[in-house]
Amino acid sequence: MKPVKVGLLGLGTVGTGVVRIVVGNQEHLSSQVGSPIIIERIAVKNSEKARDIDVDASKITTDPWEVIRDPEIDVIVEVMGGINGTKEYILEALDRGKHIITANKDLMALYGSEILAKAQEKQCDVFYEASVAGGIPIIRTLIEGFSSDRITKIMGIVNGTTNYILTKMSQEGATYSDALREAQDLGYAESDPTSDVEGLDAARKMTILGTLGFRTNVELQDVTVQGISGVSKEDIAFAKRLGYEMKLLGIAECKDEEFNISVQPTMIRSGHPIASVNGVFNAVYVYGEAVGETMFYGAGAGAMPTATSIVADLVAVIKNLKLGVNGLKQIVPYKTKKIKSDEDIYYKNFLLLHVDDKAGVLAKITQVFAEYDVSLDSVVQQANPNNPNAEIIIVTHNASKASMDKVLRHFEDLNVIRRVKSHYRVEG
Ligand code: NDP
Ligand code: HSE
């Protein structure tokens, strides 16, 4: 049996996990695909770096082109990250007829359609299961498991780093910066963790999920994004008092062929299954017209869960190789893109206002909500010994995003409001 030879771009957190699984599970893997799998070459940035895995030094190169251009290599596993340079490597590898497996959501969210088109032209596979929600097989589920249904909503925690941070702040009173440092030490965060904490990583993943779920060409700029860097311990405590957990949620909805996608810190009702997803775990809720509610749960980051998805993709590529059917399973978005207007996007809102502590303030505030047709679910005023202003906590009923934006703009000119301290979407 001729071995299948793999070129690995990157031997960091995820790449190390891939080598461990390919070597450690060799018998299990080769029995499924009918031939041994060999990691033939590995590209790294620094060949002198100490690594916590033994690999034959002769396989290591600091030049990814050596891996891409090696005629012996059938499949490239890209786990080095990066966008523009990495895209060139992948396109060249496809030109040379090599199949691609990548964990790179940054690349797939921005250039997925170009890469997949090239793959189709060259009859190559490009699989990217690990790019969204680490060890959860959500991409395969959307492509295959729900191929018969029409998806109306995808809602999830799709970033492990931020869920780890929010969990530590909520359950252990950790500071934001300590929790972030731990997430970095555990290998969950991106090389620049700004993309985790500012929501960009989750937005890229939601771009991918939206494209697959709604069968339309979702682009990163279609996703509204807000990260967790502004979330305070006080906000988390308010959420708990009202019966909610604070989570960074990606929410993609599609109705009447129009979609909207957002990523934002959200207060989710404590009884909702997503509210109890903690630490590095991710969960993705998928609602289909026929299937109803489904939920997928698992580790969203880390070496071994992510490598599990990558090696499963590798098995799929090799099975296709044996059958001679590579390049046939790409999803081609076929629906015209229609984005919902803010008038048609509805959700509940939480607001914490710092206001003058004097008569008539509440009336002026509720008047503004009435003016824009936003109905209120609850209003609580409280004194805070640490705050000379009064604090008003408001939860609205479902209100259109357009109306809420008008309310918030009006508040800027309302002299009794000192500050809109917090504003969050509420779900569940
Ligand atoms: P790391 O930073 O741990 O590893 C990156 C690897 O790529 C390192 O081995 C590095 O070399 C190598 N590398 C970087 N740039 C180059 C270059 N120009 N030429 C050659 N080698 C290079 O990243 P991760 O393993 O955490 O992530 C890899 C990819 O997987 C990213 O796209 C990430 O978004 C994605 N991902 C990560 C997850 C996680 O839990 N960490 C989960 C899901 C996806 P050297 O070792 O010498 O520095
Ligand atoms: N930084 C990412 C996260 C890695 O924390 O979810 C997994 O994609």
Cβ–ligand 1 distance for 7 under 6 Å, the answer no
Measured from the CA of 49, which atom of ligand 1 is nearest? 47
Cβ–ligand 1 distance for 80 under 6 Å, the answer yes
364 and 305 Cβ atoms separated by less than 8 Å? no
Measured from the CA of 201, which atom of ligand 1 is nearest? 34
Distance 301 CA to ligand 2 centre (A): 5
Cβ–ligand 2 distance for 300 under 6 Å, the answer yes
Would you say the CATH fold of 138-299 matches that of 4-134+303-323? no
Distance 314 CA to ligand 1 centre (A): 18
Which pLDDT belongs to residue 331? 72
Cβ–ligand 2 distance for 104 under 6 Å, the answer no
- Which helix (H) or strand (E) segment holds residue 290: the answer is none
Distance 400 CA to ligand 2 centre (A): 31
Model-level pTM? 0.96
> DSSP of 65-121, one letter per residue?
HHHHT-TT--EEEE-S--SHHHHHHHHHHHHTT-EEEE--HHHHHHHHHHHHHHHHH
Architecture, CATH, for domain 138-299: 2-Layer Sandwich (3.30)
Cβ–ligand 1 distance for 266 under 6 Å, the answer no
Distance 195 CA to ligand 2 centre (A): 9
Cβ–ligand 1 distance for 60 under 6 Å, the answer no
3-state secondary structure of 20: helix
Which pLDDT belongs to residue 425? 98
d(CA 392, CA 190): 37
3.30.43.10, 3.40.50.300, 3.30.70.260, 3.40.50.2000: which CATH number matches 344-427? 3.30.70.260
Q: Kindly name the residue from 205, 247, 340, 421 that is annotated as catalytic.
A: 205
3-state secondary structure of 180: helix
Active site residue 205: yes
The class level of CATH for 4-134+303-323 reads alpha beta
Give average pLDDT by consecutive 10-residue segment, the chain, 428 residues.
95 98 98 97 97 96 98 98 97 98 98 95 97 97 96 98 97 95 97 97 98 96 97 93 96 96 98 96 98 98 98 98 89 89 97 92 96 96 81 96 98 95 96
> DSSP of 348-390, one letter per residue?
EEEEEEEE--STTHHHHHHHHHHHTTPPEEEEEEEEETTEEEE
Instruction: Enumerate the domain spans of the chain.
Output: 4-134+303-323, 138-299, 344-427
Which pLDDT belongs to residue 312? 98
